[in-house]
Chains A and B, each alone.
Chain A
Amino acid sequence: DTEVTQTPKHLVMGMTNKKSLKCEQHMGHRAMYWYKQKAKKPPELMFVYSYEKLSINESVPSRFSPECPNSSLLNLHLHALQPEDSALYLCASSSNTGTGHYEQYFGPGTRLTVT
């Protein structure tokens, strides 16, 4: 089973709202990722968690706050977003062995619209 699930599928929020995106995997992967994808562009990495610790932050604004409560769950907390943050937010996971990180498996994404 290579399934990564994400909720909600769609989210519309105002610029003063606080919301959270959720991601879950049960493949035993110990690395989890958040990506952002704008229309007609490739996915861009935001954050990487490895063994529940934040290992990469690609200079993402603080209005995005990631959280990894356990090895299966990854959240992205959103606060005071801008309309330009509207995008498809993708979660991914991969195995993280002593020799490296391998294939990343992606969830279906959350389509976020900021009004």
Chain B
Amino acid sequence: DQQVKQNSPSLSVQEGRISILNCDYTNSMFDYFLWYKKYPAEGPTFLISISSIKDKNEDGRFTVFLNKSAKHLSLHIVPSQPGDSAVYFCAAKRLSYGKLTFGQGTILTVHP
């Protein structure tokens, strides 16, 4: 049972444009959501998080939106840069519990 889903295995975007990565979850107990970026043979790098009491969180070029009623979150990257090319994982958890549940990942390619 996949509790966190990233339905797009890949996304290709032109440099300077917006990248939108999507994530859906099924477990209503999740109350904290995170996005990680991963390069091959490296550990995931934390990008941005959002608590279920908010619907938006912004950090520089990265913005995460949360729609609790739809159990959907998205990561917007504006403007996209070639260095953003990586695998992006959405993750969810209960704040009171240590376990992170990851989605399958979306490969983002930003073309110059």
Chain B residue at smallest Cβ distance from A10: B41
Main secondary structure of the interface of A (DSSP, over half): strand
List, in ascending order, chain B residues with CB within 8 A of A111's CB. 41
Please, how many angstroms separate the alpha-carbon atoms of A14 and B89 in the complex?
Answer: 32
Q: How many A-B contacts are there with CB distance less than 8 Å? A: 63
Contact A101-B45, Cβ < 8 Å, known A33-B98, A42-B103, A94-B98: no
Contact of B43 with A106 in the complex, beta carbons under 8 Å = yes
List, in ascending order, chain B residues with CB within 8 A of A106's CB. 36, 43-46
Contact of A45 with B99 in the complex, beta carbons under 8 Å = yes
Interface 9-residue window, one of A48-56, A59-67, A78-86: A48-56
Chain B residue at smallest Cβ distance from A4: B43
Contact A31-B102, Cβ < 8 Å, known A103-B34, A103-B49, A106-B45: no
Mask, B82-112, CB within 8 Å of A = 1, is 0000000100011111111011110000000
